[in-house]
Chains A and B, each alone.
Chain A
Amino acid sequence: MERQSNGRQEVPLTWLREGEVGIVSSIRGGCGRGHRWGFEKRLMDMGLTPGTEILVVRSAPFHGPLEVLVRGTRLALGRGLAEKIFVVKKENV
């Protein structure tokens, strides 16, 4: 799951604990059905562009969605989606 990018460690957003901040490095299109253009575009539209700071506020129980803070907006992201968002943890930057 871990990937190297310019020597920094990229992890899926879901690996961050509550209260941790990451910087979006890339969004990886998933496997499976549907074209990736749709949800990637949607994430971009909501402000999750590469380089954006993202704070994990909390995650819903039962493996539920994440609540994140991006550009001053509180967003709920489904877990499957959050797994496709790769970030670099802030303290490692």
Chain B
Amino acid sequence: MSKRTISVALAGNANVGKSVIFNHLTGLHQHIGNWPGKTVEKAEGTLHYKGYTIDIIDLPGIYSLSTYSLEELISRRYIAVEKPDVVVNVVDASVLERNLFFTLQLLELEAPVVMALNQMDIARKKGISIDVKKLEKLLGIPVAPTIAIKGVGLTQLLDKIIEVAEKGQMRRTEIKYGREIEERISKLTEMIKQAKYHYPPRYAAIKLLEGDKEIEEEISKINPKIVSAAKNLAAEIEEIHGHPCPSVIASERYERASCIVREVQKIVPPLKPSTEEKLHDLTTHKVLGYPIMILTLLSIFYTVFIFGGYISELLSDVLYSFKPIINDVFRDGAAGSLIWSIIEGVIAGVTIALPYIAPFYIILYILEDSGYLARIAFLMDTFMHKMGLHGKAFIPIMLSYGCNVPACLGCRIMETERERLLAVFVTTLIPCAARTVIILGLVGQYLGIGWALALYIFDLTVVFLLGRLVFKALPGEPTALIMEMPTYRIPHIKTVLRQTWFRLLEFIKIAFPLIIAGSFLIESIEILGLLDAISAALSPITVAWLGLPAITGISLIFGVLRKELTLIMLSALLGTIDFSSVLTPTQMAVFTIVTMFYIPCISTIAALVKEVGWKNALSITVFEIIFAIVLGGITYRALTLFRWAT
């Protein structure tokens, strides 16, 4: 065959440098989106090499090809059903054994595998040397040693990819299990062969013995007898070994991996602990770990928000300077206002997206790629557990005090969909900078700082309780921390910047239309003179239930765009900045509480849509509106009852 297009999938554990290889190969020709109908990220890119067009897809980082997580399921289906020409298995040479466990499963899946034996530099530092030729022979697949962050070995990798794509696999080694297991695998394989199933029969047989839920379900639709036969065979294996069958099979697979490692790997451990080791000991230290973490995070977040705030102000000043020009051109007409509303939407987007989200993404990737994120999760796990989340959730939750938008986007570091949903929900409830402004500007200013603090604490208590409640209500397993703590390394800045850039584009694509449409809609309502009608329509809620002036309905609507607008609009609508002359203390407290909870701002909703999909984003929004109204009404009645207010 002559020059053509080759499809390649990158597969491997997390923290092996997969995304560095992906970025090196595809450069700026990439597209980040989601898998159809899923919230798992899909990264695709293209590269031209020696006349070939190579389409690369970066599968999510996983440890196995079973069905523990959505990521594993997606990767497995992609490899088995879409059948890419070559699967590049990226492997961390410094922890070969665990990585080979995954390689062996790829071989069972009968994928055309090329191995990228990556992080050879880290392995060398640990005193590990690997006989590559022998590894190739034992596995029956081509192996290319690489140091991705330095770009070493990547052309050799590409050559091997082309070789496999053109000539097919050398001769893939088949992993043999113990005789008593093999007998049963062959029995099942024969049965599955007749059932014409889209996974390779031997692979399906092994997975059935391992109790794989997806394959069980699919095969039972074709022929339920196969599944019951598998259950019996698995029970026999359990009888022989005294351990559950899935654990017997995993043990044997690991045994094979460790056999191979013993043959190809030599370790001469360095005498002195390396700098990475010392850094690890320091950052996970019982006492010192915490101040180091707090100082690191505070200085990072402080820098981001100071820097972000500065840039944000600068950008909005520049953009707002166009307002008189537009007004001039359209002579203050309705068309001018509408056009301005679109620009205002862009401003809202730009002043949040660029100054906060871009630096945040950079920081998140640096924390993750360097390995520090895993240490933070280790230290904070106990605290996050109270809310049903594990340690990693600490990062988005802490971030949301600044701005909910990057916090929501940051929830993608959570492994399962359930955890992501829970983390996202909690982050949208945490009072961000804009809400803090309202608490301080209204309650703090007029009722005293003590009341502002009390409201803040009240908010956190509610967040905690709601988090726990949702944790109990959401179906699925409670979370448990099983996390690799990778060796510390210096992040590859180019990869970090590219990852940031492409994710920023993705966010802008989703968020901007939404923000602009929202801004346009609200402006249209104003021009059409419907504001009074709406505040009248809302008055059963605002006046009767919440005890607020009818006009607050409008400011709450504007707050959807940006939360601080609720306060700004309120002063504009009431025609005063002295709120104590128009609002009673009870009203201030109720208004603040409603503002804190009633709806994530439109940029946060956009982030929600990106991370958890339309349906979940909508449910969270609707829930929070209802919750805020109920809570506001109860507060109003409670405060009136206790005659705390005038």
Contacts and interface: CB of A to CB of B under 8 A. Distances in A.
A64 B381 contact: yes
Interface in A22-50: 26-27, 32-35, 37-47, 49-50
B379 to A, nearest CB: 6
Nearest to B482: A42
A81 B95 CA distance: 23
A45 B390 contact: no
B477 A67 contact: no
A61 B485 CA distance: 17
A40 B101 CA distance: 16
Contacts of A60: 284, 286, 378-379, 381-382
Contacts of A32: 478
B619 to A, nearest CB: 22
Given A41-B246, A64-B379, A78 B482 contact: yes
Given A41-B246, A64-B378, A76 B481 contact: yes
Contact of B250 (A26, A44, A65, A81): A44
Contacts of A47: 97-98, 101, 254
A75 B483 contact: yes
B48 interface: no
Interface in B207-243: 210-211, 213, 243
A24 B128 CA distance: 26
Of A34, A58, A72, A81, most buried by chain B (CB within 10 Å of CB) is A72
Interface in B348-383: 374, 377-379, 381-383
B63 A76 contact: no
Contact of A34 (B95, B98, B477, B482): B477
B284 A45 contact: no
A45 B243 contact: no
A34 B254 CA distance: 26
B605 to A, nearest CB: 31
A45 to B, nearest CB: 4
B385 A51 contact: no
B247 interface: yes
A77 B482 contact: yes
A37 B214 CA distance: 13
Interface in A52-91: 52, 58, 60-65, 67, 71-81
A74 B391 CA distance: 16
B436 interface: no
B89 to A, nearest CB: 15
B68 interface: yes
A58 B98 contact: no
A77 B478 CA distance: 14
B211 A50 contact: no
A77 B378 CA distance: 9
B328 interface: no
B381 A76 contact: yes
Interface string A2-23: 0000000000000000000000
Interface in B464-498: 476-487
B251 interface: yes
B63 A45 contact: yes
Contacts of B382: 60, 62-65, 79
Nearest to A34: B477
B68 A41 contact: yes
B243 to A, nearest CB: 6
A65 B101 contact: no
A62 B289 CA distance: 13
B476 to A, nearest CB: 7
Contacts of B486: 74
Contact of B68 (A38, A63, A67, A79): A38
Contact of A81 (B96, B280, B480): B480
B485 A39 contact: no
Contacts of A33: 477-478
A76 B480 contact: no
Given A67-B378, A75-B483, A76-B378, A45 B251 contact: no
Of A26, A27, A39, A44, most buried by chain B (CB within 10 Å of CB) is A44
Contacts of B478: 32-34
Interface string B98-117: 10010000000000000000
A78 B480 CA distance: 6
B66 to A, nearest CB: 6
B484 A78 contact: no
Contacts of B571: none
A3 to B, nearest CB: 14
B64 interface: yes
Contacts of B381: 60, 64-65, 76, 78
A50 B243 CA distance: 8
Given A67-B378, A76-B381, A43 B286 contact: no
A71 B483 contact: no
Contact of A72 (B98, B243, B254): B98
Contact of B243 (A26, A42, A52, A61): A26
Closest 3 CB pairs of A and B: A34-B477, A78-B481, A44-B250
Given A44-B247, A45-B63, A67-B485, 13 more contacts: A34-B476, A39-B482, A41-B64, A41-B66, A58-B286, A60-B286, A62-B382, A63-B382, A64-B378, A75-B484, A76-B391, A76-B484, A81-B481
10 contacts: A41-B210, A44-B251, A49-B254, A52-B254, A61-B286, A64-B379, A64-B381, A73-B484, A78-B480, A79-B382
